[in-house]
Amino acid sequence: MRTRPERLQKGDQVGIVAPASPPNKARLEKSIKFLESLGLECVIGESVTAKNYYLAGTDSIRLHDVHQMIQNPEIKAIICSSGGYGSARIADKIDYILLEENPKIFWGFSDITFLHTAMGQLSNIVTFHGPTLSALGREDVHERSLLMFEQLFSPAEIVYDEKISPLTTISGGQVRGMIVGGNLTLICQSLGTKFELDVANKVLLIEDVGQEPAHIDAMLNQLRMARKLEQCAGVVIGSFTGTEPVEYKNSPTVEAVFESYFKDFNKPVVSGFKFGHEDLNVGIPLGVDVILNADDKYLAFLPGVE
C-alpha cells in the first residue's frame, strides 16, 4: 500500500516545475489562471522559464526545483508544466527519502512517466497521471480534463466506464491490483535501470503518441521479452494517437497489434481509455488499487489522496 498524499485545501500553495522540456508559455499562463480559479496559489520554479536546448534549463536547475518544492512545507502539490524529454536525466539524482518523508501530490504525464515510476517505487507514494499545464492550456481542452482536478481536494473513488468513452475488451476477466505505468516509450526506457517498472501482480497502464504500429509492436515485444506481460495482472490501454504508418507503410492497425499480443492473454485487457495525448485526458492516481473488469468494461480506482 503506497502512501497517499494529503488532499488540497483552498488557499494552498502548489509548485509548478518543468522536469523535462520547456512549457508553452501561452498555454501555461492559461492553466495557471485555471489553478488560481480553484483557490490555489502557484509558486513558479526557475525551470519553468529556463531553457537549455530542448530542456527546461540545465539538469541542476530542474533537479533543484524538484527538491525545493519537496522540502518546502508550504508547497502541498507539485504540478508539472510540461513533458517532452528530460525527466530521466535527473531521476537518479532525486532524493527519494526526502519525498517519502514529505509526501505530497505530484501530477503530470508523458515524459513524467519516468518520475511516476521512480517516485512510486523508491518513495512509496501515490502520484497522479494527468495533463501537464501545457496540455491543459490547449484551446480544445475537454471539460472533464479540468474536472479531474477535483479529486485532489476530496478523496473520491473514480469509476471509468463507457459513459466516458467507448471501451473494447481484448481479453476478458476481472482483477484487482495496484495500477502502474504510463507512457509506453518511457516504460521501455526504464528497463535495465534501477527504475525498471515493477509490474508483478499489478495492472499495467500504457499510452503513447507519435508511434507508428511497427514501433508499438517493437515496444510491446520488448515488454514481452522482459517478462513484463507475463508478470502483470492485466492491461489498461489508454490513448494511442498519431499512429499513422510512416516508415512501414504496409502496417496493421494499432488495434490489430494489440490483438496480436493480448487476444489470448488470459488476463483482462481493455482499450479505449482516454488517458494520454488527447483533448480528453482523464487524470487518475497511480499506485492505488483498481478493479479492472473486462467483462463489464469498467475500471474503478480507490482515492488518491487522504
Active-site amino acid positions = 110, 207, 277
| Alpha helices (runs of H) in 138-279, residue ranges in sequence order | 143-147, 184-190, 213-225, 228-231, 254-262
Residue 107 main-chain phi, psi, to 5 deg:
-130, 130
Rounded Cα–Cα distance for residues 143 and 304 (Å): 21
Backbone angles phi, psi at 196, to 5 degrees: -55, 130
The span from the CA of 46 to the CA of 56, in Å, is: 9
Alpha carbon separation from 3 to 145, 149, 156, 213 (Å, rounded):
24, 19, 16, 37
DSSP 19: S
- Phi then psi for residue 65, to 5 deg, are -60, -50
What's the CA gap between 138 and 134, in Å, rounded?
A: 7
**Secondary element (H or E) of residue 31:** helix 25-37
| CA pair distance 27, 133, nearest whole angstrom | 7
Question: What angle do the packed helices 254-262 and 213-225 form, to 10 degrees?
Answer: 20
Phi/psi for 88 (5° steps) reads: -65, -25
